[in-house]
Amino acid sequence: MFTILFVILLNFFLFRVLPGDPARAGVRDPRLKADAVEALRVRFGLDKPIINCFNSLNPIQIGDCGVNPLDTQFFIYVRNLLQGELGFSYHTNRPVAEVLAERLWNTVLLIGVGQILAIILGMGFGIFAAWRARTSIDYVAVGTSLLLWSLPTFWLGILLLFWGSANGLPIAGKATPGMSSMPLLQQWGDIARHMFLPTLTYTIVFMGEYTLIMRSSLIDVLSEDYILTAKAKGLSAFQILKDHALKNAMLPLVTVIAINLGFTVAGAIQIESVFSWPGLGSAIFEAVVRRDYPILQGAFLLIAVAVILANFLADLTYSYLDPRVQAE
Amino acid sequence: MQTTFQPTALPQSESRFSTFLKAFQKSRTGVVGFWMIVVVIVIAIFAPLIAPYEQRASASTIESIYQPPSAQHWFGTDDAGQDVFSNFVYGARVSLIVGIFAALIAVLIGGSFGLIAGFFGGRIETSLMRFTDIMLVIPDLPLIVVIVALTKPSLFNIIFVIGLLGWTTTARVVRSQTLAVKSRKFVLRARAIGAGKAHIIVRHILPLVMPILVVQAVLVISLAILNESALSFIGLGDPTTLSWGQMLNFAFGRGATSTGAWWALFFPGFGIVWLVLGLTLFGQGLEQVLNPRLDTHHLMAGKPSLSKDALIKPLHPSTLVEVQNLSIHYVNEGKPPAKAVEDVSFTLKEGELLGLVGESGCGKTTLMLSLLRLLPSAGQIVNGKVFYKGKDLTALSEEELNDIRWRGISIVFQGAMNALNPVRTVGDQIAEAVMKHEPKFPKDKIPARVNQLLELVGIVDDQREHFPHQYSGGMRQRAMIAMALACNPDVIIADEPTTALDVMIQAQILELLDSLRKKLGLAVVFVTHDLGIVAELCDKVLVMYGGVTAEYADVDTIYNNPKHPYTQELLKAFPDLTKPKKKLSSIPGYPPRLDALPAGCRFAPRCPAAFDRCHTEQPALHSIGNNHHIASCHLVEASK
Amino acid sequence: MSAEHFLEVHGLKKHFEAGRPALFSRDVQKVHAVDGVDFTLRRSEVIALVGESGCGKSTLALLLMGLEDPTSGMVKFEGQDITHLNDHQRKDLRRKIQMVFQDPYESLNPTQTIEEIVTEPLMVHGFANVPDRRERVVKAMEDAGLKPADVYMSRYPHELSGGQRQRVVIAAALVLEPEIILADEPVSMLDVSIRAEVINLLAELRITRQIAVIFITHDLGSVGFFADRVAVMYLGRIVEIGTMLEVLENPQHPYTKALISVIPVPNPRLRHERIILKGETPNPINVPSGCRFHPRCPVAIESCKASDPPNVTLSKTHQAACLLLVK
């Protein structure tokens, strides 16, 4: 909760404090007259003072003390936020919330499928490499994973895009134009075909790291004394892996997945830009190009809150997996 | 009298740096990574000499756009007809500068946050780490994008922002390392000497945090380079410099894909991968030196037993366990084998309690683990047999052996905290053994059986559903014993079951083991370094030294008529409450290294009675009288 | 100044806060780690403080070293109250009381050479530039049995054996020429065959350098040869104190009796009946009422539950805190 509050504050002040008048930057047209700019400032609420001084709470006395605290940009921002209003796009003038909402699910779909695939494959390779530690299988798995880890996401996307276009796969967008008139099943098939390359990129980029983490964590667990106990009990290797090692080895992976959620979004921005996938990431990309700050601000807020919530979920999972955490 | 050591026994000292270099050279990945980085650094420094064309020198003709690689343009040309190779060479400079300076900022901030939080603790730590956690969950790249989009995308800003946001992991890592170092006893000792905070930080904390900081820095450099390229790619790079990311951005945005100009996209990306991979490998190599990981575990296939002579039969068929001339070596590539156990024999009758005594590293645990073939993968039975009820355990398949494990022979391990799985309840782990070996046992009666076992060892009040961390140390050891009893074994191996427990708890556990042995008719092998416990408890005693049998006899003979000088000296070194004024003597020197054994008797360098022959010839096992008293010493042979 | 007043400890207590039983509860639970300890130490005397884990002996060591502040009570050294000193006075005192720790593998900084380790105390106390610095270091090392010192100077701790490391720790203590050495389980991590080496060294130092030793251990067996007096601790208190022979051969407190009976004797002909106490040492958060030992005491009577026993003087040197001894 505290973190979300911090993000809201950061988000607000970042966009006010940093140089560049938003109105001027938003409408970069030198032909605009001063009064037109002023009208825009009023339209976007930028004429109001940023904060009032909150008297006692504000010992350094920034802000204007003579104004009604309810009529400041900050208050309006918070009030709008609570009502789900994120302002209007400078570029299309559409409500930011609306623009982001239609983009959000595409990103969730891409990240969701990609993350799940990466986790499953990474775990699988990691378990296999750990089990066969110090064999050539293990060395290949580790080497490949290190290489995958070092790939810039967008560059891998570009390479796959080359490869995909040579093989007749769709390389841009989410659906073939005109598809909406086709039967539902065919539409889904079309989306799946469009999703293939972005998801593949996504999976490959994250798989390497998960393989490495799973491998080293499983090797750690498998060299614990209680594994020796299990072996002495006469359990087979498969039983030991399943009943004694996996749950324990998952713990570091959960932590890394949680921390990774931030990087996840970074990956999405790059992949969506390469493949013109209509998600939040490409919204950010376009907003950067057009200097559309409200979109950028809204997207950042949305992503930050989502990542924080996901972290919270990861904490819950962790305490479910490890009884020692519950005890504290 | 003071004992002084032979200075020659010490290995030649080396400077820490050369030790480090040696260790680092062993890490192949680290060395490869190092040279990969060196290549990039050389290219960056000598860019003007290497690049055939000026940076961004464009030919003005239309034909020169997107030329494929040729003798003139090794990497082809880009959308403006510029030589990709020359831009690539200069691009290395930008990537390195961004990486190094951003990492510098990140490591400085993260390092000082972590150090301050870890060292001072309390409120300072809580607030600093709270702030770090918040910064850690806020997604990096989007925030960088936002900030760079709002400010001017100059190289300086990019470095600054990436550095400013990349410190969180460093702070966490440094903090936990600081905490770990701070809790070590030498810091307490420095305080006890009277050293102040500044002295402790500079002299004791920093030298041990520094290496971790360097590894982190390498990691942060690679992350910064990746971040910079991503940033450039989405169009937020510094328009006045041409980094690898910028090259990709221009090529991708200006039709390289549609024209099929793969070279304009491939080479800059390849540069990034090369450098980041080099850094990652280098970081891994450093990490390996700091924190050597063997990457071995208990499920790795062990080396097959070399003891294949099927004709050897048990000599004492009536005994429960018979170990014949067992030798175990640890085989590591490129090193001489460590002869951990050499030619050890003993027998175990029903209901007998054998004490296995020796100091740390004498091979007693290795010997016990080898009985059930539980040795780590490097350990190999090179000779000898283990018979259990006439079956040769060294020759059984893993599946056949699994039936004997726990049901025939079970083990109580040292330090029950680690020997119990922390994420499963104690009862669950006991039930597992029952279900494995008695698959027909009715499921609904298992909880009752587990409770019965726990009651047998004195754990009442239905604590079956508790996790190991909810038990005290003594209770965990009791639970471990209950688990060992779960399948009604004939033999229990107790490997230092009371080490690290308080004397009173130790007495409780010993009494429990002894009463269970009498009640259930168990045979027990009790492994310990404590001569007192052995005297109180055991019927027969096997004294081991440096992997070999020193002496093997019944308990009274060992204590009242020992023949081997090691047994005699060990008894003199052991305090006896009944003779409080007795001056204790120590055995000078230290046990032999198992991979560099002396030529003669392994005890000879420390033996007060050693003579010439002892240093050149290994003594054989000699039996004394007809009381099954065995000792390996030339003196015994001489006195016969 | 009489020999009696070398080091005196009066009613020393240390209570730690253990957090609250419930999130918003007002009362803070207290760990009664050290709960009223009195004893005196004479010059060049060896006193053994014996007890199981949780009896407060390690906390007592930290209190005596001034590494923790006591909750109440007083420590006097050479007649001067040293309980509450400022940093400067404390530093001066540190030269006179030095400590040897349990784990010689942990108590040496792996990045320092042996010479740096042994010289460090001199630097800290401002003797960096004394002309005989090197001689002092060599003498301390050779007195600690690291002979010849030159061989060890440039080594790192990992190149030495456990016994040698413990000698390095002792040398680093000796270099300041202390009057008291506080040894916290100095041999429990060492192998049996080299334990005597460290104990004998400490025993020698008291004679050659007139150093008093406070020897903290859980192993009654190891105190015999070398301690003059033995104090047995249970749950933060000394329950019995006396000369070594008085305590080992004529123990009076039921806890001491039990503790001595369970020490294994390395002679199978002397197997004997043992008094095995039930249960474990209670958590020092909830110290039992009355006599703190009564729930586990095999001879407890009804009144033990209610009244805290006084120290009963059995001889000039022997005291025990048990109601059954009150006549």
User: What one-character-per-residue DSSP string does A28-89 give?
Assistant: --TTS-HHHHHHHHHHTTTTS-S-B--GGG-TT--SBTTS-GGGSHHHHHHHHHHTT---B-
Q: Tell me if C279 sits within 8 A of C296, measured CB to CB.
A: yes
Q: Is the pLDDT of residue A326 over 60?
A: no
What length does chain B have? 640
Nearest CA in chain B to C266: B532
User: Residue A41 CA to chain centroid, in angstroms?
Assistant: 32
What is d(CA B430, CA C311) in angstroms, rounded to the nearest whole number?
48
Nearest Cβ partner of C196 from B507, B560, B573?
B573
Q: Mean pLDDT across the stretch A239-252? A: 90
pLDDT at A324: 77
B639 in reach of chain A (CB within 8 A): no
Closest approach of B19 to chain A, Cα-based (Å): 25
Judged by average pLDDT, the poorest of A7-21, A131-145, B417-431 is A7-21
Q: Kindly determine whether residue B262 and residue A162, on different chains, have CB atoms separated by under 8 Å.
A: yes
Q: Is the dihedral of CA A95, A96, A97, A102 positive or negative?
A: positive
Average pLDDT, chain A: 79
Tell me the range of A299-313, B30-44, B75-89, B409-423 where mean pLDDT is highest.
B30-44
pLDDT at B382: 92
More confident residue, B550 or C93: B550
pLDDT at C116: 92
CA distances from B186 to A143, B192, C69 (A): 39, 9, 20
pLDDT at A1: 60
pLDDT at A56: 43
**What pLDDT band is residue A28 in, cutting at 50, 70 and 90?**
very low
pLDDT at B15: 66
Q: What are B505's two structure tokens?
A: 């708890």
Helix, strand or coil, per DSSP, at residue C76: strand
Nearest Cβ partner of C154 from B13, B577, B584?
B13
Percentage of residues in chain B with pLDDT exceeding 70? 96
Q: Mean pLDDT across the stretch B170-176? A: 90
Q: What are A253's two structure tokens?
A: 């992976």
Nearest Cβ partner of C101 from B2, B189, B530?
B189
Q: Is the pLDDT of residue C256 over 50?
A: yes
pLDDT at B4: 38
Average pLDDT, chain B: 86
pLDDT at B559: 93
Q: Does the model's pTM come out above 0.90? A: no
**What pLDDT band is residue B237 in, cutting at 50, 70 and 90?**
confident
**What pLDDT band is residue A45 in, cutting at 50, 70 and 90?**
low
Q: Tell me if C245 sits within 8 A of B557, measured CB to CB.
A: no
CA distances from B535 to B355, B528, C243 (A): 9, 11, 28
Judged by average pLDDT, the poorest of B50-59, B617-626, C259-268 is B50-59
Q: Is the pLDDT of residue C172 over 90?
A: yes
B626 in reach of chain C (CB within 8 A): no
Tell me the range of A1-5, C79-83, C128-132, C296-300 where mean pLDDT is highest.
C296-300
pLDDT at B81: 74
What is d(CA B602, CA B593) in angstroms, rounded to the nearest whole number?
10
Domain assignments of chain A as residue spans, ordered by start: 2-82, 103-327
Judged by average pLDDT, the poorest of A189-203, B62-76, B321-335, C97-111 is B62-76
Q: Is the pLDDT of residue B387 over 80?
A: yes
DSSP-assigned beta bridge partners for residue C39: C9
Judged by average pLDDT, the poorest of B144-153, B331-340, B539-548 is B144-153
Q: Mean pLDDT across the stretch C148-163? A: 88
Alpha-carbon torsion, ordered B14, B20, B23, B27, to 10 deg: -160
User: Residue A275 CA to chain centroid, in angstroms?
Assistant: 17
Contacts of B508 in chain C (CB under 8 A): 276
Q: Is the pLDDT of residue A15 over 70?
A: no
End-to-end CA separation in angstroms for chain C: 35
Residues 6+ apart with CB under 8 A from A61: A53
Closest approach of B639 to chain A, Cα-based (Å): 44
Q: Is the pLDDT of residue C1 over 50?
A: no
pLDDT at B492: 95
C–A touching, 3+ CB–CB pairs within 8 Å: no
pLDDT at A24: 45
Contacts of A240 in chain B (CB under 8 A): 299
Q: Mean pLDDT across the stretch B209-236? A: 89
B 524-583 near A (Cβ less than 8 A): none
Q: Mean pLDDT across the stretch C164-173? A: 92
Nearest Cβ partner of A248 from B281, B407, B423?
B423
Q: Kindly determine whether residue C151 and residue B10, on different chains, have CB atoms separated by under 8 Å.
A: yes
pLDDT at A116: 93
Tell me the range of A93-97, C198-202, C219-223 where mean pLDDT is highest.
C198-202
Q: Mean pLDDT across the stretch B20-39? A: 87
Q: Mean pLDDT across the stretch C202-227? A: 88
Q: Is the pLDDT of residue A53 over 50?
A: no
**What pLDDT band is residue B453 in, cutting at 50, 70 and 90?**
very high
B293 in reach of chain A (CB within 8 A): yes
pLDDT at C183: 93
pLDDT at A61: 46
Contacts of B295 in chain A (CB under 8 A): 133-134, 138, 219
Contacts of B189 in chain C (CB under 8 A): 99, 101, 107, 169, 172
Q: Is the pLDDT of residue C324 over 70?
A: yes
What is d(CA B262, CA B265) in angstroms, rounded to the nearest whole number?
5
Q: Is the pLDDT of residue A23 over 60?
A: no
Q: Is the pLDDT of residue A129 over 90?
A: yes
Q: Mean pLDDT across the stretch A214-232? A: 93
Q: Which of A226, A259, A261, A277 to mutate to test the interface with B (most CBs of B within 10 A)?
A: A226
Rg for chain B (alpha carbons), in Å?
A: 33
Judged by average pLDDT, the poorest of A73-87, A269-283, B624-638, C121-135 is A73-87
Nearest Cβ partner of C265 from B507, B529, B536?
B536
Nearest Cβ partner of B535 from C264, C277, C281?
C264
Closest approach of C176 to chain B, Cα-based (Å): 9
pLDDT at B289: 85
User: Residue A191 CA to chain centroid, in angstroms?
Assistant: 21
Nearest CA in chain B to A238: B299
pLDDT tens figures, B284-321: 899 888 877 777 888 887 777 787 677 788 888 889 99
Q: Tell me if A276 sits within 8 A of A282, measured CB to CB.
A: yes
**What pLDDT band is residue B161 in, cutting at 50, 70 and 90?**
confident
pLDDT at B150: 73
B 386-405 near C (Cβ less than 8 A): none
**Alpha-helix residue ranges (DSSP H) falling in chain A:** 2-17, 22-26, 34-43, 73-82, 96-131, 136-150, 153-166, 184-222, 225-232, 237-240, 246-275, 280-290, 293-321, 323-327
Query: Which class is A103-327 in CATH?
Result: mainly alpha
Q: Is the pLDDT of residue C325 over 50?
A: yes
B 306-365 near C (Cβ less than 8 A): 359-360
Q: Is the pLDDT of residue B62 over 70?
A: no
Rg for chain A (alpha carbons), in Å?
A: 25
pLDDT at A164: 87
What is d(CA A64, CA A51) in angstroms, rounded to the nearest whole number?
7
Q: Kindly determine whether residue B194 and residue C94, on different chains, have CB atoms separated by under 8 Å.
A: yes
Average pLDDT, chain C: 88
Q: Is the pLDDT of residue A272 over 70?
A: yes
Contacts of B502 in chain C (CB under 8 A): 52-53, 218, 281
pLDDT at B3: 38
B198 in reach of chain A (CB within 8 A): no
A–B touching, 3+ CB–CB pairs within 8 Å: yes
Q: Kindly determine whether residue C268 and residue B474, on different chains, have CB atoms separated by under 8 Å.
A: no
More confident residue, A101 or A62: A101
Q: Kindly determine whether residue A158 and residue B265, on different chains, have CB atoms separated by under 8 Å.
A: yes
Q: Is the pLDDT of residue C21 over 60?
A: no
Q: Which of B20, B504, B559 to mutate to test the interface with C (most CBs of C within 10 A)?
A: B504
pLDDT tens figures, B95-138: 899 999 999 999 999 999 999 999 988 888 888 888 887 787 77
B576 in reach of chain C (CB within 8 A): yes
